[in-house]
Amino acid sequence: MDTLLEKLESLVGSDDFEYDSEDIISEMEAEGAGFETIDALLGIMERHPLDDFGMPGAMVHFIERFYPEFLPLLIASVKRAPSLHTVWMLNRCINGAKDKSELLSVLESVINNENADVAVRDKAKEFFEYQSGSAN
């Protein structure tokens, strides 16, 4: 599994990432990858905060199979090292949440996170302003 994760990460930023990642995620699933793989996938997103992983992409499709159980892992990832993609994933979760307050709080923390890239903070602000109008 580690070899596939390394291969996946080595392709981040490549023109064919979206297509190649589908194949790698399929291989990982064939090898029995499950919930325990989520942290490693989020870690890849953390280490590449400005990269595009697809919309939503194979990694997100895999992770979201474990909704809502993956939410604490996503929240921890966003708090630890927010990226454009994890902030976007958090926004997707807010869209479907009954109680949006905790997730909005996490999103707001990104806006104030001086260690986060400016582009990530700006995207978090955009999502926060949009979602605040529909908060419980």
- H-type alpha helices, the chain: 2-10, 17-30, 38-47, 58-64, 71-80, 84-96, 101-111, 118-132
pLDDT per position as a tens digit, 78-131: 999 999 999 999 999 999 899 999 999 999 999 999 999 999 999 999 999 999
- pTM (2 d.p.): 0.94
pLDDT of residue 135: 47
- Asked whether 50 and 16 are in contact (CB, 8 A), the reply is no
Rounded CA-CA distance 8/20 in Å is 8
Rounded CA-CA distance 13/52 in Å is 7
pLDDT per position as a tens digit, 23-47: 999 999 999 999 999 999 999 999 9
pLDDT of residue 131: 95
Please, which residues have CB within 8 angstroms of residue 28's CB and are 6 or more apart in sequence? 1, 4, 5, 37, 62
